Chains A and B, each alone.
Chain A
Amino acid sequence: MKRGINHYIELLMVMTEKELRARYKYTVFGFLWLIINPLLQMLVIGFIFSFFMKSPMEYYYFYLFTGLLIWNFFSLSLTKATPSIVFERSLIKKAMFPRMVIPIAIIASNLLHLFIAMILLMIPLIFVHPISFMNIIFLGIGFILLLMFTIGLSLLTSALNVRFRDVTFFVQALLIVWFYATPIVYSFMVVPKEYHWLWIFNPMTSIVQFFQYALMHYPLPTLSICVGNIFIIISITIMGSIIFQKESKNFDDWI
């Protein structure tokens, strides 16, 4: 086989570049949109929720912004990757190439956004909280888990969406509920202990909390939630890759 890992990376880079160029073509603000969007969300949610909060959270706007960046990366990647195979049917019908690059290129382009936004967030944060070595370690773990989970789940949903177009709608509906099931606008500390086990089933809990620990010095997730979440993340990643690989051979028959 002529195509090695090198070719795969080159293809992924060009596909990612395509994603980015196509997205910002003919926009005035261009890259600025990636900041404006979470900033608006942060201002509105922060303003409204400050009415409800019993005790004000420390640096609530920064806290919100951290969670929103992670969440926006995740939800945007998933919403765009899920129907991606169907959208790119002309590519599938044209040649044999690793089909995985289609959803992964979407995630890669969003990851670049996340990096830029994250750096912009960290500049003011350094004045609030000094970042320690441990913070950086957990920032890294958070990124790895986030990326794994996003890729794994996107592979799963994009492969299933080829046969069952309902998956797109299911994902859209799920994401709305999921947002409130993740400690983004609230802190996990307000969740009563007897309900903690519920969050074991939401892998985004640990991921968001790792980032909140690294950037905001909020507490780390409890061990049981952490283990449960990571177990789900790994299972979904493996399942997603296997199902995608198996289904990708016959994508052409369904689109």
Chain B
Amino acid sequence: MNTIAVQLLNIKKEYSIHHEKPTLVEKFIRSNNERFIALHNINLTIAKGERIGIVGPNGSGKTTLLKIIAGITAPTKGSVKTQGNIVSLIDLQAGFHPDLSGYKNIFLNGLLLGMEKKEIEAKCHSIIEFADIHQFIDAPMFTYSSGMALRLGFAIAIHADPDILLFDEGLSVGDKNFQKKSSKKIQALMKKKLTVVIVSHQMTLMKKLCSRFVILQNGSILSDGPKSTLSRYGY
């Protein structure tokens, strides 16, 4: 059995900087593109069940790394291999359509996250229950408060049965009550052999959840090791 969940080999990600929306004319006038290297020669192997925290200052390439693991964007160079269903809690409210009911949005969002229709039907009740939406589920999404929408987004994501779960800052959603419920759910999920990658600045929470830490700086891996290595770099 393969025990590797994510394998990144020699990843390089280059962005061309666009100051304004590019137009055809601009493209022909200025052919020399400004380039920005977001990630540089990244090698990272994550075993199944590992819980990794990615830390580093702003602009060090944390989110780009997460996007590459999620498959949202492709690396300029290098190869990405992943095994299992990846669910990213990157933008929880994204993908909701304001004119559709909460119920319809569960299907839309769930399918986007890679769930099957039957699976969503089976889990629908539990999702609504978890998000605490109840009687509003037939109302169009634009009537929801932002807290409700976030809760629903979170509920769908964790019901998508992920093998690999990616967090980008969004660890705390909703009110205290819901935060407690969601962290309980995350911890329960972690007991199953779930691979987790967290990008955050909330060090206390990360230290509680993660067992391995990758420190990024200027697009390269500065250090990779257990909790004890963190203090060396001032985290």
Binding site for B on A (CB under 8 A): 2-3, 6-7, 10-11, 14-15, 17-18, 21-22, 25, 90-97, 163-166, 249-254
Q: How many A-B residue pairs have CB under 8 A?
A: 87
Binding site for A on B (CB under 8 A): 15, 18, 21-25, 27, 67, 70-74, 85-88, 90-91, 93-95, 97, 99-100, 104, 107-108, 111-114, 116-117, 140
Contact between B95 and A2, CB atoms less than 8 A apart: no
A137 to chain B, nearest CB (A): 35
When C-beta atoms are compared, the residue in chain B nearest to A3 turns out to be: B114
In the complex with contacts A91-B112, A94-B90, A166-B24, A18-B104 CB distance below 8 A: yes
* Residues of the B chain whose Cβ atoms lie less than 8 Å from the Cβ of A22: 97, 99-100
Contact between B24 and A252, CB atoms less than 8 A apart: no
Interchain CA distance A21-B97 in the complex, whole Å: 10
Contact between B116 and A14, CB atoms less than 8 A apart: no
Interchain residue pairs A-B with the least CB separation, the first 4 = A96-B71, A249-B74, A90-B94, A252-B73
Contact between B95 and A15, CB atoms less than 8 A apart: no
When C-beta atoms are compared, the residue in chain B nearest to A21 turns out to be: B100
* Residues of the B chain whose Cβ atoms lie less than 8 Å from the Cβ of A94: 72, 88, 90-91, 94-95, 112
Interface pairs (12), CB distance under 8 Å: A2-B114, A11-B111, A14-B108, A14-B117, A93-B72, A94-B112, A96-B70, A164-B22, A164-B27, A165-B21, A165-B22, A252-B72
When C-beta atoms are compared, the residue in chain A nearest to B72 turns out to be: A252
Task: Please pick, from B22, B72, B100, the residue contacting A96 in the complex, using a CB distance under 8 A.
Answer: B72
* Residues of the A chain whose Cβ atoms lie less than 8 Å from the Cβ of B111: 7, 10-11, 14, 97
Contact between A96 and B86, CB atoms less than 8 A apart: yes
- Interface core residue of A6, A96, A97 (most chain B CB under 10 Å): A96
* Residues of the B chain whose Cβ atoms lie less than 8 Å from the Cβ of A93: 72, 90-91, 94
Contact between A91 and B114, CB atoms less than 8 A apart: no
Kindly list 14 other residue pairs between chains A and B, CB separation below 8 angstroms, not including A7-B116, A91-B112, A166-B23.
A22-B99, A25-B99, A90-B94, A93-B72, A94-B72, A94-B88, A94-B91, A97-B112, A97-B114, A163-B22, A164-B22, A252-B72, A252-B73, A253-B73
Interchain CA distance A67-B93 in the complex, whole Å: 42
Contact between A253 and B15, CB atoms less than 8 A apart: yes
Interchain CA distance A252-B64 in the complex, whole Å: 10
* Residues of the A chain whose Cβ atoms lie less than 8 Å from the Cβ of B22: 163-165, 254
In the complex with contacts A94-B94, A96-B86, A250-B112 CB distance below 8 A: no
Contact between B108 and A15, CB atoms less than 8 A apart: yes
* Residues of the A chain whose Cβ atoms lie less than 8 Å from the Cβ of B67: 252
Question: For chain B, what secondary structure do more than half of its interface residues adopt (helix, strand, loop), or is it mixed?
Answer: loop
Question: For chain A, what secondary structure do more than half of its interface residues adopt (helix, strand, loop), or is it mixed?
Answer: helix
* Residues of the B chain whose Cβ atoms lie less than 8 Å from the Cβ of A21: 99-100, 104
Task: Please pick, from A2, A14, A95, A163, the residue contacting B72 in the complex, using a CB distance under 8 A.
Answer: A95
When C-beta atoms are compared, the residue in chain A nearest to B91 turns out to be: A94
When C-beta atoms are compared, the residue in chain B nearest to A97 turns out to be: B112
When C-beta atoms are compared, the residue in chain B nearest to A170 turns out to be: B24
A22 to chain B, nearest CB (A): 5
Contact between B117 and A95, CB atoms less than 8 A apart: no
In the complex with contacts A95-B112, A252-B72, A252-B73, A164-B23 CB distance below 8 A: yes
A190 to chain B, nearest CB (A): 36
* Residues of the A chain whose Cβ atoms lie less than 8 Å from the Cβ of B25: 166
Interchain CA distance A91-B72 in the complex, whole Å: 10
Contact between B113 and A95, CB atoms less than 8 A apart: yes
- Interface core residue of B72, B88, B99 (most chain A CB under 10 Å): B72
* Residues of the A chain whose Cβ atoms lie less than 8 Å from the Cβ of B70: 95-96
* Residues of the B chain whose Cβ atoms lie less than 8 Å from the Cβ of A11: 111-112
Interchain CA distance A84-B99 in the complex, whole Å: 17
Contact between B95 and A90, CB atoms less than 8 A apart: yes
* Residues of the A chain whose Cβ atoms lie less than 8 Å from the Cβ of B108: 14-15, 18
B199 to chain A, nearest CB (A): 15
B11 to chain A, nearest CB (A): 14
A106 to chain B, nearest CB (A): 14
Contact between B99 and A7, CB atoms less than 8 A apart: no
Interchain CA distance A2-B114 in the complex, whole Å: 8
A223 to chain B, nearest CB (A): 37
When C-beta atoms are compared, the residue in chain B nearest to A6 turns out to be: B116
Contact between A250 and B74, CB atoms less than 8 A apart: yes
When C-beta atoms are compared, the residue in chain B nearest to A22 turns out to be: B99
* Residues of the B chain whose Cβ atoms lie less than 8 Å from the Cβ of A249: 73-74
